[in-house]
Chain A
Amino acid sequence: DADVTQTPRNRITKTGKRIMLECSQTKGHDRMYWYRQDPGLGLRLIYYSFDVKDINKGEISDGYSVSRQAQAKFSLSLESAIPNQTALYFCATSDFGTANTGELFFGEGSRLTVL
């Protein structure tokens, strides 16, 4: 089984719908992240959490919210999806040791299409 698991892997939805992407990890890491990937733009940080009680906005948090339900679970919500949120979304983790060097561990991605 993967160390970082994302569900769903693919989702097609309509404008205005609420969508939740879930991430769970078995690495025991404290830090979790949500990134968005768009062609030609690399990955951009949406939100990050350094522990269960800590939530921080990234560079593109507008239109998104997150919940850190437990050390191992970090979900991303789109309250009212719009077409320009069509993208590939990645969850990632790190721990204090590897975080000191910036190394991230990624899930396999959730492809979201908003019609």
Chain B
Amino acid sequence: AQSVTQLDSHVSVSEGTPVLLRCNYSSSYSPSLFWYVQHPNKGLQLLLKYTSAATLVKGINGFEAEFKKSETSFHLTKPSAHMSDAAEYFCVVTNTGGFKTIFGAGTRLFVKA
């Protein structure tokens, strides 16, 4: 069985400070992992994905995530937050072939000026 847990429902940071959004997963087989971002009144956009290649994955807008199998984690980070990063972020796990996709509950990121 697969599951994904986003450990924080809300995260608040100041502009220019680092961002850390935490995600733990469980999967009985080698998963693919994703982070999507959703800005207000918009659909979900892919930030980055891990598909069993390099464990450190770089995405758009300066975000990156590291796959840690021993910790079953896939945390999303960014060195310096920008006001435009304020959005909701979803961690997603799926099995090979994409037949079973599970979304985390989401983490809303607030960025203070």
Contact = CB atoms under 8 A, between A and B. Distances in A.
Interface of A: 4, 31, 40-45, 90, 92, 94, 98-104, 106-109
Nearest to A99: B98
A78 B38 CA distance: 25
A58 B105 CA distance: 17
Given A40-B9, A102-B92, A90 B44 contact: yes
A104 B44 CA distance: 9
Contacts of A108: 41-43
A101 B101 CA distance: 10
A42 B43 contact: no
A94 B46 CA distance: 13
Interface in B44-59: 44-46, 49, 51
B46 A103 contact: yes
Contacts of B97: 99-100
B32 interface: yes
Given A42-B105, A106-B45, 17 more contacts: A31-B98, A42-B106, A43-B44, A44-B103, A90-B43, A90-B44, A94-B98, A98-B98, A99-B97, A101-B32, A101-B94, A102-B94, A103-B46, A103-B98, A104-B44, A106-B36, A109-B42
A104 B68 CA distance: 23
Contacts of B106: 40, 42
Nearest to A50: B99
Contacts of A44: 103
Nearest to B101: A102
Interface in B13-49: 32, 34, 36, 41-46, 49
